[in-house]
Amino acid sequence: MSELRFNELRGEQVAYAIHRQDRTFLPDRDHCPLDATRPGGPETEIPLPAFEIAVFDNRFPAFESPHGAAEVVVYTDDHDSSLGALPLRRIEALMWVWRHRYEELGAREDVEYVYIFENRGVEVGVTLHHPHGQIYGYPFLPPVPALELAADERLGGCAVCSQLQGEQAEGARMLLGNGAVAAYVPRAARWPYEVHLAMASHRASLLDCDAAELRGLAEGLRRLVRGYDGLFGRPMPYVMAVHQAPTAGEPGRGHLHVEIYPPLRTADKLKYPAGSEQGAGTFISDVLPEDAAAALRQAIDRDAG
């Protein structure tokens, strides 16, 4: 079982999940636990000879019932694929899976915030290469979404709507738009190539999106991650964070958006959160968001062309 302790100096929870030290770490190609189970082969986490998208409880959970949830979402049974390499209709199906998990986990008494995310690449500590994401059901509202809700209070309205309007008016950092979503490098991005992909209309969560919006979200996400892979001509490592309404407390707060934080500042140099970032909480970036946006726009256009 994991244990929560409250860090008084920071005003935030820390989760201790010591059993996770023993989790599967970069297994060789023939022992991937996220592959389909081959007939006659060893049983993997997915006891089927083939599958499209699979969801199951994390075997090494940071949170588990009755104090939250931790699930694994496997995007495909193709070990060597990636989110951007999948056909659009598969990514669209993934949006419906996300929506379903958000609804089901969010309905639980012990889940206050459903957090969908993906860690990609050894640079961000991935332990399994097979294309997959995760979902945590936190038994509390974590600090980052809480800060966004505090921004809504401070601004007297939706902070994401206001950021999106500002970015669209200025234009220099916009990357793509398709009616359902728009993507941009935020004016005050913390990571060199950070991008936010927001619902164009105010939608608190996946549950508020219609089928066309989910398709648009999938399409925007696909173009974006493909552009990322084209930027430096290598699979881009990143953390992808889906922010939406908390599932406890006052309903309907928040604005569904996806944030992507790649740790690279050049093709082969990492941005390390170090003294200023860790000890003072202030990011120092080597890349101007306008320049990052121009380079990313080119990469996205190259992929489309």
Q: What is the contact mask toward Zn ion in residues 171 to 210, using x (rule: CB under 5 A)?
A: -------------------------------x--------
Q: How far is it, in rounded angstroms, from Cα 291 to Cα 303?
A: 19
Q: Please pick, from the candidates 120, 130, 215, 226, the single residue that binds Zn ion as defined by CB under 5 A.
A: 130
From the list 43-51, 75-83, 86-94, 209-217, the region that binds Zn ion by CB under 5 A is: 75-83
Distance from the first to the final alpha carbon of the chain = 51
Q: Which is nearer to Zn ion, 110 or 208 (CB)?
A: 208
Q: How far is the CB of 144 from Zn ion (least distance, A)?
A: 7
Q: How far is it, in rounded angstroms, from Cα 193 to Cα 179?
A: 23
Q: Please pick, from the candidates 99, 222, 243, 253, the single residue that binds Zn ion as defined by CB under 5 A.
A: 243
Q: Please pick, from the candidates 4, 15, 17, 32, the single residue that binds Zn ion as defined by CB under 5 A.
A: 32
Q: What proportions of the chain, in percent to the nearest 5, are helix, strand and coil? A: 35, 20, 45
Q: How far is it, in rounded angstroms, from Cα 285 to Cα 303?
A: 27
Q: Please pick, from the candidates 111, 160, 245, 264, the single residue that binds Zn ion as defined by CB under 5 A.
A: 160
Instruction: Give start and end residues of each alpha helix (H) in the chain.
Output: 88-106, 143-155, 159-170, 211-231, 289-304
Which residues carry out catalysis? 132
Number of residues that bind Zn ion (CB under 5 A): 12
Residue 91 in the binding site for Zn ion (CB under 5 A): no
Residue 213 in the binding site for Zn ion (CB under 5 A): no
Residue 158 in the binding site for Zn ion (CB under 5 A): yes
Residue 258 backbone phi and psi in degrees, to 5: -115, 130
The answer to whether the CB of 13 falls within 8 A of the CB of 3 is no
From the list 72-80, 95-103, 171-179, 184-192, the region that binds Zn ion by CB under 5 A is: 72-80
* Residues with Cβ within 8 Å of residue 275, at least 6 apart in sequence: none
Q: How far is it, in rounded angstroms, from Cα 300 to Cα 176?
A: 8
Distances (CA, A) of 172 to 79, 191, 219, 257, 276: 37, 17, 22, 20, 28
Q: Which is nearer to Zn ion, 80 or 290 (CB)?
A: 80
Q: Which is nearer to Zn ion, 124 or 200 (CB)?
A: 200
Tell me the Cα Rg of the chain: 19
Q: How far is the CB of 99 from Zn ion (least distance, A)?
A: 18
Q: Which is nearer to Zn ion, 79 or 294 (CB)?
A: 79
Q: Which residues sit at the interface with Zn ion, rule CB under 5 A?
A: 32, 34-35, 79, 130, 158, 160-161, 202, 243, 255, 259
